[in-house]
Structure 1
Amino acid sequence: MRRRTFLSGCAAAASISLPGWARAQSVSPGIDTASKTVTVGAFTPITGPVPFYAILSRAADACFKWVNDTDALNGWKIKSVTYDDGYEPARSVAVTRRLVEENKIFALAAPVGTAQSVAVIPYAKEVGLPMIGPIGGATALFAERLVFPLLPDYGWSAASNLEYAFTGLNAGRVALLWENDELGRSAKRGFDMLMAANNKQPAESIPFEVRSTDFTPHVRRIANAKADVVILFGSNANLAAALKTADRLGYQGKWMAPFFTADPTTYKLAGPLLDGAYFSSWLLPVDADDANVKAYRETVAKLYPNDPIGVFGLNGWSNAALFAKGFQMLLASGKPLTRANLVDVMETMTNQTVGGAREVTFKPGDHRGARQEGIIQAVSGGSFKLVRDFKPYPADVFDAKPA
C-alpha cells in the first residue's frame, strides 16, 4: 500500500510547455502500467487561515488507501501526493504546476477550496488536467468539461430545504437567515427562486455576518413575522448561536440548515437545542448504516484517530471516491489510460453511489454531479437520521440558468 505524502510549503517549478490534452497518447502522465499505479494530486491548507480543512484531505487519503487495500481497482493502486497551498489561490496554481511537472500526476483528485479550484482551471485547461471532485461550490466548477464536482450549488440546497418546509413540515411562513457572502447569497438566490415559483413571499430574509454570535434582532424579527420555519445558511457556529438566541427569547419555530452543519461538532456547540433540526443533504448521515459510510468511519478511525468522524470527513472521502469510481470505469472501458478518455467515461457516469452520495450523474455539457438530496434530522443523543429519502432538487431552481 502506497503512503500519501503531505508536504508543507511549495515552490513553483519552472513552467514548461506540455502537449494539449486532446492529442493522441497511448497513456497519459501519471500512469505506470508496469506497477499498475495511477498517481493523482491535490492541494490543501495545511497552513493558513483554515488548517482544519486538511481533515478533508486526510479523509480523501484514507479513501485511496481503502481502495488499494480492498483491491477495488482490480490490481491497480492509487498513489496520491498532496501539497500545502495555505488556502491561497495563487499558491494552488503553483502547487498544481509542481504536481504536473514534478510528480507527473494523472489528475487532480479532491483538491480543497472553492476559489483555489477556480483559480487552477485555466492551467488545467492548458495542460488537459482533469479535476475530479474539487471540494468547493462555484458556478465556474460546473461549466468546464475537465471539472467534475460533487458538491451542489448552495442555491439548490436552499431550495431543497424550502421544498421540504412546504411539503414535509406544512409550513405556511418560512424565513431565511443567510450569511452575507457568496455562500449565503447563493442560498438566497435558490430560496427566492422557489418562493417566486410558488407565488409566495418569505416571512423574513435577513443577512448576517460570518462572525455573528448574537442573533437577538434577527430572531425577534422572525418571531414577529410569525415564521413557522427558519432556514439558516451559515456555519455550525452561526446555527448554534441562533438556536441559543431562539431558546432565550422563547421562539418555537422549526429550524433547517445546510448539509455541512449536520455534524457532531454542531452538537458540541448547540447541545440538545439541536434536537429536531432538519438538514437538506447530498450526503447520508455520518452514522448511517450504509456500507460506504461505514467504510469511511472505520478507515478514518484507524488511520487518523485524532480526526473527528463527521460531515467534513465524509465530504473529503466521497470526493476521493469519485476519482476511484471514474478510474474504475476507465479500466472497465478498455480504452487507453489517458486523461481525455477519463473525461469521456466520467461523462457516462449515471446514477452512481459515490461515498456518501447517491444518484451521481455526469453528462456531456452537464457536470452537475449530485442531483438529489435527502432530509436529515438531528435526534436526541447527538446523532442524525435520514427522515426523507433522496429526491431530485426542485426543477425550478436546478434547471434555471446560472445567475
Structure 2
Amino acid sequence: MPSIRAHALALSVAASLSLVASGHALAQKKYDTGATDTEIKIGNIMPYSGPASSYGLIGKTEAAYFKMINDNGGVNGRKINFITYDDAYSPPKAVEQVRKLVESDEVLLVFNSLGTPSNTAFQKYMNAKKVPQLFVATGASKWNDPKNFRWTMGWQPSYAVEAQIYAKYLLKEKPDAKIAVVYQNDDFGKDYQKAFREALGTKAASMIVIEESYEISTPSIDSHIVKVKSLNPDVVMHFVTPKFAAQGIKKIGELNWKPLQLVTNVSVSVGAVMQPAGFDNAQGVLSADYRKDGADPQWKDDAGMKRWSAFVDKYMPGADRTDNSLVFGYGAAQTMVKVLEMAGDNLTRENVMQQAASLKDFAPDTLLPGITISTSATDYAPISQLRMMRFKGDKWELFGDIINADVKAPD
C-alpha cells in the first residue's frame, strides 16, 4: 500500500494540475465574428455625401484615430480594421450598407453610425442579429432603451435633454417670449420639437407662435425663415442640422432681424456653421455643449487637448480645427478603444456590450472639465451633462454651471 505521505503528495499534484487546467480555461481567448488574435473589425456608416455631408469629417477623424492606435500596437495587441461606408443620409442606403457590414464584411460591431433616420432604419435588424450598434452618433432619446433594444447605445447627450435645458433657460430669462420653432421634419427634428414643447409645459400654448418644419431634401430654408419673421417672434429655436443652421442664421442677419437665437448642439461648429453664416450674423447665438472647442485658446495648456492637437498635427494635417467634428470623432473613438481595452481577450459581442454598459466616470480628452461618461445595464446614456454657451466674436463662450440632466430609460 502506498504511504499516507505518498497519497497526500499525489492528491496535491492532482490539485495543482487541476488549478493549472482551470486557470488555462479561464485564460482562453473568446471571439465572435469580427475578432481574432490579430484583428478587430469595426463597421461604420457616415453621410460622406448628401445633405448632411459636413458630418463626414467625423468618420475620417475616427479612421485616423484608429490608425494612430494601430501604429502604437493596437488594442491588446490587435489591430483595428475600420470599415466605413457612405449612406448619403438616406435610410434605405443605410440599411443596405449595414447589411453589407454585418453579413459580408462580418464586423464585430457597428460603431458611431450617424443620423437618427439611418440608425432607426436598422436598429431592429441589429438587435435581431445581436450585433452591437454602439455609441451611435445621434442624440435621439430612443437609444437609451436597454430593456427593448439592449444592443443599441448612444454616446452624446440626448436631444430631449438639450431641448429641456433650452426651455428651462427661456422660462427663467424670457418667460413672456414669443417663440418660433424651426425643425427638421424627421426623427431628429421632431425629438427636439416634442421635448421642447413638453418642457415649456402649460406655457407652450402662449409662448410658441409657430412650429415650422422643412424637409431634409430642401436646398434652402430661406423661405421658411421669411415666413417665421412675418410673425415677429422674440426667439428662434433652430432644431436643425449644420447646413440649415448656417442658412437660417445667415438669412436672419440678411433680414436685419435681431431675435434671440438658439441652435442645436450638433450645429455649433465654428467652421461648418458660424463662419458660413457670417460671424456678424452669429453674434449672441446660444447653444449648449459637452466638448472643448479645438480652436479655442483657453485649452492650449489642457493636457487632453494637447494630445488631441498632436493627433491632428500627425494624422490629420491641414484639417480645419474650427470644425468640432474633429473633437467629436476623437472623443467617440477614444471611448470605443476604452471599451475594447476593458473587453480584454473576451471579444464576444455579448462582452463588448457588457463592458460598454460598465463605464464609470471615463473622461475622454475632449470633454469639458467635470463632464464624464458613465453607463450601466439600465442606463445607456453615456453623457448627460451640458453647459450653456454664447457665440461672441469668432468663438463660443461658456457660461453658467454644468447642468446634469439624467433622463431615465423608458420602463
Give the TM-score of the pair, scaled to structure 1: 0.77
By how many angstroms is 1:346 displaced?
Answer: 1.5
In 2, the alpha carbon distance for the partners of 1:248 and 1:87 equals 29
Tell me: CA distance 1:194–1:399, structure 2 relative to 1, closer, same or farther (3 Å).
farther
By how many angstroms is 1:261 displaced?
Answer: 2.2
In 1, the alpha carbon distance for the partners of 2:66 and 2:191 equals 32
By how many angstroms is 1:200 displaced?
Answer: 8.2
Deviations along 1:120-158, one digit per CA (max 9) or x if unpaired, are 333323432112122234444333111121133323211
Q: Which residue of structure 2 lines up, in the alignment, with residue 311 of structure 1?
A: 324
By how many angstroms is 1:258 displaced?
Answer: 1.0
> Residue type of the partner of 1:286?
G
In 2, the alpha carbon distance for the partners of 1:155 and 1:259 equals 12
Query: How is 1:156-167 mapped onto 2 (pairs within 5 angstroms)?
Result: 156-167=161-172
CA contact (8 A) 1:259 1:283 kept: no
CA contact (8 A) 2:168 2:200 kept: no
Q: Which residue of structure 1 lines up, in the alignment, with residue 341 of structure 2?
A: 328
In 2, the alpha carbon distance for the partners of 1:88 and 1:188 equals 22
Deviations along 1:184-234, one digit per CA (max 9) or x if unpaired, are 3221211111111778842534314253114234234234xxx3x443222
Higher mean C-alpha displacement, 59-68 vs 45-54 = 45-54
By how many angstroms is 1:341 displaced?
Answer: 1.0
CA contact (8 A) 2:380 2:409 kept: no
Deviations along 1:298-333, one digit per CA (max 9) or x if unpaired, are 4345434454331233333333223112112223xx
Higher mean C-alpha displacement, 144-153 vs 232-241 = 232-241
By how many angstroms is 1:163 displaced?
Answer: 2.1
Residue correspondences, number: 365
Tell me: CA distance 1:139–1:383, structure 2 relative to 1, closer, same or farther (3 Å).
closer
Q: Which residue of structure 2 lines up, in the alignment, with residue 277 of structure 1?
A: 285
CA contact (8 A) 2:54 2:242 kept: no
Q: Percent identity?
A: 19
**Pair 1:255 & 2:264 matched:** no
**More helix by proportion, 1 or 2?**
2
CA contact (8 A) 1:233 1:258 kept: yes
**Pair 1:231 & 2:244 matched:** no
Instruction: Give unpaired runs (5+ residues) of structure 2.
Output: 1-27
Tell me: CA distance 1:291–1:177, structure 2 relative to 1, closer, same or farther (3 Å).
farther
**Secondary structure of the residue that 1:360 maps to in structure 2?**
coil
Deviations along 1:52-77, one digit per CA (max 9) or x if unpaired, are 43222101112222334456845443
CA contact (8 A) 1:219 1:242 kept: no
Structure 2 counterpart of 1:32, from 29, 36, 44: 36
Give the TM-score of the pair, scaled to structure 2: 0.76
**Pair 1:377 & 2:385 matched:** no
**Pair 1:343 & 2:353 matched:** yes
Q: Which residue of structure 1 lines up, in the alignment, with residue 273 of structure 2?
A: 266
**Secondary structure of the residue that 1:133 maps to in structure 2?**
strand
Tell me: CA distance 1:258–1:209, structure 2 relative to 1, closer, same or farther (3 Å).
same
**Secondary structure of the residue that 1:390 maps to in structure 2?**
strand
Structure 2 counterpart of 1:195, from 200, 208, 218: 200
By how many angstroms is 1:118 displaced?
Answer: 2.5
Deviations along 1:12-34, one digit per CA (max 9) or x if unpaired, are xxxxxxxxxxxx9822222222x
**Secondary structure of the residue that 2:31 maps to in structure 1?**
coil
**Secondary structure of the residue that 1:359 maps to in structure 2?**
coil
Tell me: CA distance 1:294–1:338, structure 2 relative to 1, closer, same or farther (3 Å).
same
In 1, the alpha carbon distance for the partners of 2:267 and 2:294 equals 12
By how many angstroms is 1:284 displaced?
Answer: 3.1
> Residue type of the partner of 1:79?
N
Tell me: CA distance 1:43–1:230, structure 2 relative to 1, closer, same or farther (3 Å).
closer
RMSD, aligned CA: 3.3
Deviations along 1:52-111, one digit per CA (max 9) or x if unpaired, are 432221011122223344568454432212233444434433433433344432211222
Tell me: CA distance 1:364–1:101, structure 2 relative to 1, closer, same or farther (3 Å).
same
Deviations along 1:363-399, one digit per CA (max 9) or x if unpaired, are 223312221111122221x222322343212x6xx34
Structure 2 counterpart of 1:149, from 154, 157, 161: 154
